[in-house]
Amino acid sequence: MNVNEGTRKAQEIIKTHRYLYGGKGQRYTMALVERLAKAYPGKFTAALKAEAMKDADKGYLAGDCSYLVCSALGIPNINSLALKQKAVMLIRPQKALAEEGMVLWKSGHVAYIGDDLKVYEMRSTARDGCVSPFDERAKDFSYMFVIKDSPLYMKHIEELPMGNYYPKYKGVGSSIVSALTSVGEKDTSFAHRKQIAEKNGITGYRGTIAQNLKLVKLLKEGKLIK
């Protein structure tokens, strides 16, 4: 799947699906609403369940916000928080930095940035699927980001010049300084490690354990950009 195919998938879901919390492409039936209401009693109030029933058994498919995004990215279904955790880098929504294939995130909700930077989302039980201009909708989200191994991520990786990566680190240690030294990097100073971190989507580098382990992981995978 490429970025354009992802957008076409989002467009298809908007047309053929209706929003249902917990929906993952199933037939939208009364039985499904009942089953999901039992599975998520904290989400399905009596009023919400009654609203959801209005679209049941009318030939639609069911989908929620993360289902649309995961389908457009071509990845297994995960929830909005798990999507955020797979982000390469979190940035505030800005049209100047937005690209087709990115994800918009706020607590409990996600959307997909498609063609012409339009925002595609399964928005709510009452509103179902929506397509909005970026300037109108993105301000309601906290972050936008690229998902690792998504079509947009792979597109950028493929566009990087050959030889722009460190060799794979084949050691077993977790020290980023030792790992960089083992692959031939002579400058392992904090200032240079900060530059490397920023090139690899790690902003605000402070040399924390989590940040260094992420760098070591990329180095072991042969994906650490010089």
DSSP string covering 14-36, please? HHHEEE-TT-EEEE--HHHHHHH
**pLDDT (0 to 100) of residue 184:** 87
105 within 8 A of 84, measured Cβ to Cβ: yes
**pLDDT (0 to 100) of residue 30:** 98
**pLDDT (0 to 100) of residue 162:** 47
Q: What stretches of 4-88 adopt beta strand conformation (E)?
A: 17-19, 24-27, 61-63
**pLDDT (0 to 100) of residue 148:** 85
Cβ atoms within 10 Å, residue 94: 10
d(CA 123, CA 16): 14
Mean pLDDT by runs of 10 across the 226 residues of the chain is 95 98 98 97 95 97 98 96 91 92 97 97 96 97 93 76 74 90 91 92 91 92 87
**pLDDT (0 to 100) of residue 159:** 61
Buried b (16+ CB within 10 A) or exposed e, 110-123: bbbbbeeebbbbbb
* Domains defined for the chain, CATH in brackets: 3-156 (3.90.1720.10), 163-221 (no CATH)
Q: What are phi and psi of 60, to 5 degrees?
A: -85, 165
